[in-house]
Amino acid sequence: MGSEASLIWGVIFGAIGLAYFVFGKKQQRFVPLFCGIGLMAFPYFVSNTVLLVIIGLALSVIPYFF
């Protein structure tokens, strides 16, 4: 992690990802399930804060459209 902002955003998107994962698993829906896994995993691989926020917001919005 590069900075404190990256760490905080990673925790926020990880928590959202956990909620999507649990919802997708209970409702047997694959889009929230896979978006939840993605939200929990991608902060480990992205160190740029701006890119972290953009990818996190995109993954957070995808289940609303599908």
Measured CA to CA in angstroms, residue 66 lies from 24, 32, 36, 41, 51 at distances of 12, 9, 14, 21, 23
Residue 1 has pLDDT above 90, yes or no: no
pLDDT value of residue 2: 64
Q: How confident is the model at residue 3 (pLDDT cuts 50, 70, 90)?
A: confident
pTM above 0.85, yes or no: yes
pLDDT digits 0-9 by tens, 13-65: 999 999 999 999 999 999 999 999 999 999 999 989 999 999 999 999 999 99
Q: Which residue has the higher pLDDT, 59 or 66?
A: 59
